[in-house]
Structures are given as C-alpha cells and as structure tokens.
Amino acid sequence: MKYHILKETIVYDGFLKIKQALITHDRFQKDNPVTCTREALDKAGFVAVLLFEKDTDQIILINQFRYPSIENGNGWLLEIPAGGVEKEEGIIEAGIREVEEETGYVLTDLEHIQTCFTSPGITSERMHLYYSEVTQGDKKSKGGGAPDEDEDIQICKYSVKEIHTLLNSEIVVDAKSIIALQWLMLNKL
C-alpha cells in the first residue's frame, strides 16, 4: 500500500497547528487509488503518568478545567498527570517534570505502559503512558501546576478499591486515565 502527499499547507498556526493535505493513496478493495483532501491537527506527543502511592494504597489523580470538554460535560476532568514534551527534553524527563509540577511528587522510576496515537483520524499526537510508584515521603512540594503557566490543579487521592467505581460510574471519562487505570487493575492489583 502506498500514498503520496501531493500538496501540504499549514492552514492555522497558533497554539495548535492545523495542516491540510491533498493525498493520493491505495485502496484495499479497488485497483485505482483515491485522491482526497484531509486536515490534521499537527501536535507533538505528550507524556502521562499513573501514580500509585504504595504506602497509602491510593492512586493520585488531578482535577482541572479542560475547555474542549465543556460541550459534553462541566469542563473539569479527573485525570492522571500529563503534559507536553518540551523541545530539548526527553519523554522520561518530561514525565518526571510534569508529575512534580502538577502533584509535587518527585519520581525516581517510570514503567512504560504504552505509546499510542490519541485520535489518528484527526491528529498526529501520540501519548506516552507510564506508571510510577511513590510514597508520601516523595511529595516534596505543593504541586497544583507550574506557577509560570497559571495552572489551577486540584490533587485528588483515591483508594485502589475505588478504581472500579471511578471507571463504571463515569467519574473518570478521560481516555488516558481510563487506559492507565484498566492497566493497573490488570497488571498490578
């Protein structure tokens, strides 16, 4: 199977970047290729970390306002810590930094869960999902977000016994967090 990008332009270049492309690609069922126009949100990957506080048997989630979610919710989402990978930063470094900024916990070890596309029909974004165990003693600062980014993050702890309820009552509706919590149930509990 082959494809050719005939033309590609950036149609929006702000906080987000949107590309438009004229593409020809092979088909599974027909001999002749198809030519179509597609748009994509061109977005770098991000890292997300599921935190398990082993001395209290709790998972650590964050609650924050997410503008795109207001159309189908109240805007605040309960999720695992996550954030973008800076240009001169590795994925592991970004995960450690984001967790410390958002929760105040300092990590020493990350276990890779999965790397995947978040929504390949519309974006190039990939999620790098990790797991880390911490203790209460690993909390070195207040957390709540990076001061220079004016983040407003609430740190929330839940017993691992509550994971099933969090997932089944639709309290956690964020895909990265659902994947991470299901992984935890299958692999660690």
0.85 surpassed by pTM: yes
Is 56 buried (19+), middle (13-18) or exposed (0-12) by CB count in 10 A? middle
Q: Answer yes or no: is pLDDT of 30 > 90.
A: no
* 118, 122, 125, 128 alpha-carbon torsion, rounded to 10°: 10
- Catalytic option among 71, 88, 149, 170: 149
149 is catalytic: yes
Model confidence at 151: pLDDT above 90: no
The predicted-structure confidence for 65-120, as pLDDT tens digits, reads as follows 999 999 998 899 999 999 999 889 999 999 999 999 999 999 989 999 999 999 99
